Amino acid sequence: MSQSPRANAERLWQSLRSMSDIGATPAGGVTRLTLTKLDGEARDLFVGWAKEAGCTIRIDPFGNIFARREGRRPDLPPVVIGSHLDTQPAGGNYDGVYGVLAALEVVRALNDAQLDTERSIEVVSWTNEEGARFQPPMLGSGVFTGVFSLDFGLSLTDKEGIRLGDALSDIGYAGTDHIAATSIHAALEVHIEQGPVLEKEAIDIGVVTGAQGQRRYEIQLTGQSAHAGTTPLDYRADAALGLARSIEAVRRIGIAQGEAARATVGYVSLSPNSPNVVAGGAVFSVEFRHVENNTLDIMEEALLKEIQQIADDTKLEHSVERIIDYAPISFDSRMVDLVEQTAKQYQYSYKRMVSGAGHDACYLSRVTPTAMIFIPCVDGISHNEAEQIYPNWAEAGANVLLGAALAKANDVEK
């Protein structure tokens, strides 16, 4: 690939460091929740850089930003590359933002090489991928691809009751441009792995073939609050006891389905949540992930049986509501092959793998041929201030993104 354009590793790394200053935390991470003032500052910085690179900016009604590098044939559907700029609370500096800035580096590298493409290339930053402030996650790409309606997305509120549409207007990113999801030729997203496999196996590039399915549930256990000193154990309807047994049951369900299964209780709330009161209520989340939908069915059936039995044994009322259901997805085989071939051409080591996390690319795969590229992250840590990558890893992912995007942007077949 000596004659092909390459990413400028130093420039990419400096862009990542500059972006990490916005919302920086004392522990070295970042808090940049979607549609906050800090998110607005990050958007402004990205837009300014994109304009300097010669891109035209369009913003759709949900605040998704499209920075377009015009091709020779602007009438052809473009190639879309990018990710997101929002973070988790006390999150890392690379989850999402690396994918946006590596995509911007593609444009910059093409400019450096004075290379035009047949199709336009659009660098996109999606709104509210993390779902840390407004639920559900991946809202921007979900609205764009028709998974959610625009009205639904704009009407959502955060914990303070602030409406998403109002927050979008407050930071100046309630756009009016119409960008049709059906008019995209192909989509690519590069991302940190958020797991330990690539680093442990000393592999440069993850060629992502698809993503696990996810199901999330909200479970309520209702007993009776009582005095902790005067109520004998046998007389209690203790929601905390039901919660504890439920957490153990969720882990058993996951283990029963083997190494590919994931089972998590991530959110817990007890009421009245007082040290000297038997808990009268418990609300908690359960999340299952697996690459096969029928296995998710098995896990769900097991969960319903376990919660019923636990409620009966502990004298509790219960309810189980499925609130998220993402089916497992497979990326376009030709796009996956292209990523693999590009990694080979740049002489990077690689392996095919399934994403355990959801990404905007998962929704884009519903409307256009899509693939993802992973790079390692230190110790597999993500959604954490300790999240870290190295400049050579960032460079490798950007080069593979560059090569694959260039190939698709010069593909003029219908």
How many angstroms from the chain centroid is the CA of residue 57?
23
Tens digit of pLDDT for each residue in 266-289?
999 999 999 999 999 999 999 999
Backbone angles phi, psi at 345, to 5 degrees: -65, -35
Q: What is the mean pLDDT of residues 156-182?
A: 97
Tell me what pLDDT residue 62 has.
98
Q: What is the pLDDT of residue 326?
A: 86
Distance, in Å, from the CA atom of 238 to the CA atom of 412, rounded to the nearest integer, reads 65
Bridge partners, residue 321, by sequence: 218
Residue 3 has pLDDT above 80, yes or no: no
Q: Which amino acid is at 82?
A: G
Q: Can you give the pLDDT at residue 2?
A: 45
133-153: per-residue pLDDT in tens? 999 899 999 999 999 999 999
CA of 105: how far to CAs of 53, 101, 194, 392, in Å?
A: 9, 6, 21, 14
Q: What is the pLDDT of residues 27-65, one digit of tens each?
A: 999 999 999 999 999 999 999 999 999 999 999 999 999
**What tokens does 124 get?**
């996109």
What does DSSP say about strands 370-375 and 281-290: parallel, antiparallel, or unpaired? unpaired
Which pTM was predicted? 0.88
- At residue 413 the predicted structure's pLDDT band, cuts being 50, 70 and 90, is confident
Residue 4's pLDDT band (boundaries 50, 70, 90)? confident
CATH number assigned to the domain covering 9-211+328-409: 3.40.630.10
Phi, psi of 262 (to 5 degrees): -130, 135
User: What is the C-alpha to C-alpha distance for residues 267 and 33, in angstroms, rounded to an integer?
Assistant: 19
Q: In the chain, where does the domain assigned CATH 3.30.70.360 lie?
A: 213-326
Lowest mean pLDDT among 34-43, 69-78, 319-328: 319-328
Alpha-carbon gap, residue 125 to 146, rounded angstroms: 17
Task: Give the least confident one: 334-343, 354-363, 398-407.
Answer: 354-363
Q: Which of 9, 381, 348, 388 is closest to 373 using CA atoms?
A: 348
Chain-centre distance for alpha carbon 116: 31
- Residue ranges, CATH 3.40.630.10, the chain: 9-211+328-409
List C-alpha distances in Å: 186 to 100, 316, 372, 402, 414: 16, 51, 11, 14, 11
> For 348-364, what is the mean pLDDT?
95
Whole-number Å distance between alpha carbons of 272 and 281: 7
Structure tokens at 147: 């998974």
Residue 1, pLDDT above cutoff 50: no
Between the CA atoms of 385, 387, 389 and 395, what dihedral angle is there, to the nearest 10 degrees? -80
Q: Tell me how far apart the alpha carbons of residues 58 and 406 are, in angstroms, rounded to a whole number.
A: 22
Distances (CA, A) of 171 to 44, 257, 343: 10, 45, 39
Q: What pLDDT is recorded for position 375?
A: 98
Q: Give mean pLDDT, residues 252-256.
A: 98
Q: What's the pLDDT score for residue 267?
A: 95
Highest mean pLDDT among 4-8, 88-92, 181-185: 88-92
CA atoms of 169 and 165, how far apart (whole Å):
6
Q: What CATH number labels 213-326?
A: 3.30.70.360
Query: With 80 as the cut, is the pLDDT of residue 6 above it?
Result: yes
For the record, the structure tokens of 268 come out as 């817990």
